[in-house]
Amino acid sequence: MMTRVPRSYVKEARKRTGPKRARIGPIVERLAAEHADATIALRFRDPLELLVSVMLSAQTTDVNVNRVTATLFEKYRRPEDYLAVPQEELERDIFATGFYRQKARSLRGTMRMLLEEFDGEVPRTLEELTRLPGVARKTANVVASELGHTQGIVVDTHVRRLSQRLGLTRREDPVKIEHDLVRLVPRADWARFPHLLIWHGRRVCDARRPRCEDCVLAPDLCPSARA
């Protein structure tokens, strides 16, 4: 006798929420209404401080970076300042952000290149930004976007988790996730989309305990919504 295979939960959920192309607009709208204050949490006053803050934010929290840069930026104002002290002094000044040796090396290499190739200015294109030592695609995307030259979609741990839960991508690799997202999210929303997912991830869609009962995307826009 043939046993009936129950339709999978995933299929049921996809049927309930509909195709991602139809959901992306309402997802952005609802998140924008819910997190009207969603912007970058790092504090900076100019492009150089932005670049340094984003470089320091690897593997630590924005709150921690802000605590360190509050004093750091009083001492280091121009690219030359990062090269005027011994490497060990810079390491001590950024110690609390973790991975301080590697970060100090990257900062000094970046400052050297800014001076030698970019007249001491922070470049705006992803191609140029990713040439700077220690500046990977995510950092470059954040910097370009905050400077008003958005060229992609920032994919951090929150963006990755939420994009997967929302059924916008099945990929694991951040570059491939970004590839899926830029084909789906309207270009005008590329800059704010990651901020919305980051804040929603922090406030509601926690990695271990998503609060679906309080989520504006449940149940009609999220295939992972728990009943």
Q: Which residues bind ligand SF4 (CB under 6 A)?
A: 165-166, 204-205, 210-212, 215, 217-218, 222, 224-225
Distance between CA atoms of residues 140 and 156, nearest Å: 12
Our CB check for ligand SF4 shows the closer of 55 and 168 to be 168
Report residue 75 as tokens. 């001492």
In angstroms, what is the minimal distance from the CB of 19 to ligand SF4? 16
Distance between CA atoms of residues 210 and 226, nearest Å: 9
In angstroms, what is the minimal distance from the CB of 179 to ligand SF4? 22
Our CB check for ligand SF4 shows the closer of 182 and 212 to be 212
Distance between CA atoms of residues 132 and 120, nearest Å: 12
Distance between CA atoms of residues 125 and 127, nearest Å: 5
- HSE, CB side, 13 Å, CA atoms: give it for residue 34: 22
Over the Cα atoms of the chain, what is R_g? Answer: 20
Q: Compute how many other C-beta atoms are within 10 angstroms of the C-beta atom of residue 47.
A: 15
Our CB check for ligand SF4 shows the closer of 80 and 220 to be 220
In angstroms, what is the minimal distance from the CB of 220 to ligand SF4? 10
Annotated catalytic residue within 156, 176, 206, 220: 156
Contact 43, 61 (CB under 8 A): no
Instruction: Note if 46 is an active site residue.
Output: no
Instruction: Note if 20 is an active site residue.
Output: no
Q: Dump the DSSP string for 72-89.
A: HHHH--SHHHHHSS-HHH
Our CB check for ligand SF4 shows the closer of 56 and 198 to be 198
In angstroms, what is the minimal distance from the CB of 227 to ligand SF4? 10
Among residues 218, 217, 171, the alpha carbon closest in space to that of 28 is found at: 217
Annotated catalytic residue within 138, 180, 206, 214: 138
Report residue 219 as tokens. 């149940």
Among residues 226, 198, 219, the alpha carbon closest in space to that of 34 is found at: 198
In angstroms, what is the minimal distance from the CB of 192 to ligand SF4? 17
Our CB check for ligand SF4 shows the closer of 83 and 212 to be 212
Which residues are known catalytic residues?
138, 156
